[in-house]
């Protein structure tokens, strides 16, 4: 109900009170008419009795400006000026002020607690304010009932660090239920192996989820007519299995494909949040190296996961995830290597099939390998696990048996196309 001073004049209220004092109207009836409670009613009566000539229910709100220390005021304006420089710089992909970011920087860098309304007030007064463009409405509903039921997975190619002068890829995995970001990695190149590494990290640390939700990128899905150079009438969409999906198949994880870019909204919003903060911080701290950027990304991910209340779930992602695990509302299951495979390297790997020749040899990128313990012309499955020292481990499987293990240089095998 609207406020009393907006519905009645001073004279009308005076008349009501006079009738109440003359016992012509009952208090309960007057309260109902005025739309106020007992305490408010008796406060009006008391004020009228104290001075009926100057009695009034009209008042003017005084806008009070909170007095803050000069050092805090100075830092607010300094940060607002830095924001303006970023917005004015055509090379930096930032077009609006982020007052929440300024609030976080004041707390982190200056150890100063300032309310968001105070920062916005100073921004308006000193011209550090832009009208926000109208945004289309997104469906922010949580569509899952369990942690691990659906993992949103994607990559974004963006100028994350303007000083670097090149766009990098950000690969991210997010639990739909808790909105907890499970994995985030900046890379200069996007490969199937990079996405397999993300699967390995998530499944070994958090467990195997029920399903992954991705777009129709060629790394995730073979689409006939798009991914094939020679049209094969017997090879239709989804009949060829990309490397990334083969890993999920081995782990018995369902793959769900988004039908449109708009359907990937949930993962795109964290990207926007990360983009906004990562770009700002990297520019302010003059970052140009991907390792420095990854460190800052880790700090922002920690802030997002452990300290921020999500606008949709109204919970901190980490707390929501832990509560789901403790309450048994989680579909994450422990990772175990199932026979006949013997190692994690047999699961989180690249795979190719070959047939050995009469001399028990096969060739990969013109590099010849002699395979032990197989017969001539037998088919083998080679599981290739790249290592951090520039080598790869090749694990040769035949008839569900590990028949040989060899190593080679990554550059010799040219795995960039896998």
SS3 letters across 215-263: CCCCCCCCCCCCCCCCCCCCCCCCCCCCHHHHHHHHCCCEEEECCCHHH
Nearest-angstrom CA–CA distance, 237 and 218? 11
Residues 93 and 238 reside in one and the same domain: no
The pLDDT assigned to 131 comes to 77
Residue 61: inside a domain:
no
Q: Find which of 23-32, 81-90, 166-175, 237-246 is predicted with most confidence, using mean pLDDT.
A: 166-175
Question: What average pLDDT does range 248-264 have in this prediction?
Answer: 83
Higher pLDDT, 92 or 351: 351
- Give the tens place of pLDDT for each residue, 124-152: 999 998 876 665 554 445 579 999 999 99
Residues 191 and 101 reside in one and the same domain: no
Q: What CATH number does the domain containing 239 carry?
A: 3.30.420.10
Domain total in the chain: 4
Least confident of 97-101, 270-274, 303-307, 361-365: 270-274
Residues 271 and 382 reside in one and the same domain: no
- End of a domain among 261, 292, 326? 326
Residues 233 and 274 reside in one and the same domain: yes
- Give the tens place of pLDDT for each residue, 24-34: 888 888 888 88
Mean pLDDT of the chain: 87
Residue 234 clears pLDDT 50, i.e. is over it: no
Question: What average pLDDT does range 155-159 have in this prediction?
Answer: 89
Q: Which residues pair with 386 in a beta bridge?
A: 392
Residues 78 and 113 reside in one and the same domain: yes
Residue 132: inside a domain:
no
Contact 359, 370 (CB under 8 A): yes
Residues 120 and 198 reside in one and the same domain: no
Return the H-helix or E-strand segment holding 40.
helix 38-50
Nearest-angstrom CA–CA distance, 142 and 175? 11
Residue 55: inside a domain:
no
Alpha helix ranges (H) inside 243-401: 243-250, 265-284, 290-306, 317-326
Residues 194 and 307 reside in one and the same domain: yes
Residue 413 clears pLDDT 80, i.e. is over it: yes
Q: State the pTM of this model.
A: 0.75
- Give the tens place of pLDDT for each residue, 271-298: 778 888 999 999 999 999 999 999 999 9
Domain of 268? Answer: 151-326
The pLDDT assigned to 232 comes to 47
Higher pLDDT, 194 or 313: 194
The pLDDT assigned to 57 comes to 84
Residues 106 and 166 reside in one and the same domain: no
Residue 155 clears pLDDT 70, i.e. is over it: yes
- pLDDT-based confidence at 262, cuts 50/70/90? low
CA atoms within 13 A on the CB side of 153: 29
Q: Which residue's entry shows tokens 């990854």? A: 294
Q: Find which of 194-208, 210-224, 249-263, 300-314 is predicted with most confidence, using mean pLDDT.
A: 194-208
Residues 41 and 84 reside in one and the same domain: no
Beta-carbon count within 10 A of 70 CB: 8
Identify which of 22, 1, 23, 33 has the alpha carbon closest to the alpha carbon of residue 13: 33
Residues 256 and 284 reside in one and the same domain: yes
Residues 173 and 274 reside in one and the same domain: yes
Per DSSP bridges, beta strands 391-398 and 379-386 are: antiparallel
Residues 81 and 187 reside in one and the same domain: no
């Amino acid at each position: 109900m609207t406020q009393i001073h907006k519905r009645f004049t001073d004279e009308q209220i005076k008349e009501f009170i006079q009738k109440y004092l003359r016992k012509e109207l009952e208090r309960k009836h007057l309260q109902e008419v005025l739309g106020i409670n007992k305490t408010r009613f008796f406060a009006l009566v008391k004020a009228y009795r104290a001075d009926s000539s100057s009695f009034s229910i009209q008042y003017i709100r005084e806008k009070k400006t909170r007095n803050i220390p000069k050092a805090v005021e100075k830092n607010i304006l300094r940060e607002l000026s830095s924001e303006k420089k970023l917005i004015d710089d055509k090379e930096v992909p930032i077009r609006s002020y982020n007052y929440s970011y300024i609030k976080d920087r004041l707390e982190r860098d200056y150890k100063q607690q300032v309310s968001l309304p105070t920062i916005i007030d100073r921004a308006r007064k000193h011209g550090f304010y832009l009208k926000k463009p109208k945004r289309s409405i997104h469906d922010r509903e949580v569509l899952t009932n369990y942690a691990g039921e659906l993992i949103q997975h994607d990559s974004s190619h963006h100028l994350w660090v303007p000083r670097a002068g090149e766009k990098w890829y950000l690969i991210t995995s997010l639990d739909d239920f808790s909105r907890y970001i499970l994995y985030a990695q900046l890379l200069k190149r996007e490969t199937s192996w990079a996405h397999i590494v993300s699967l390995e990290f998530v499944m070994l640390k958090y467990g195997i989820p029920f399903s992954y939700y991705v777009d129709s990128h060629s790394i995730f899905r073979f689409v006939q007519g798009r991914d094939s150079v020679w049209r094969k009438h017997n090879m239709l969409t989804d009949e060829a299995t990309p490397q990334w999906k083969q890993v999920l198949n081995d782990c018995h994880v369902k793959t769900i494909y988004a039908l449109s870019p708009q359907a990937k909204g949930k993962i795109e919003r964290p990207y926007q949040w990360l983009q906004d903060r990562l770009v700002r911080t990297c520019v302010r701290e003059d970052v140009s190296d991907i390792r420095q950027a990854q460190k800052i990304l880790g700090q922002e991910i920690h802030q997002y996961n452990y300290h921020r209340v999500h606008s949709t779930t109204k919970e901190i992602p980490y707390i929501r995830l832990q509560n789901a695990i403790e309450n048994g509302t989680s579909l994450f299951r422990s990772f175990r290597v199932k026979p006949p495979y013997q190692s994690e390297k047999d699961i989180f790997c690249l795979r190719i099939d070959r047939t050995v020749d009469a001399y028990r040899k096969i060739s990969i990128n013109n590099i010849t390998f002699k395979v032990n313990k197989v017969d001539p012309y037998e088919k083998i499955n080679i599981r290739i696990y790249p290592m951090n020292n520039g080598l790869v481990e090749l694990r040769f499987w035949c008839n569900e048996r590990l028949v040989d293990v060899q190593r080679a240089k990554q550059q010799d095998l040219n795995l960039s196309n896998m």
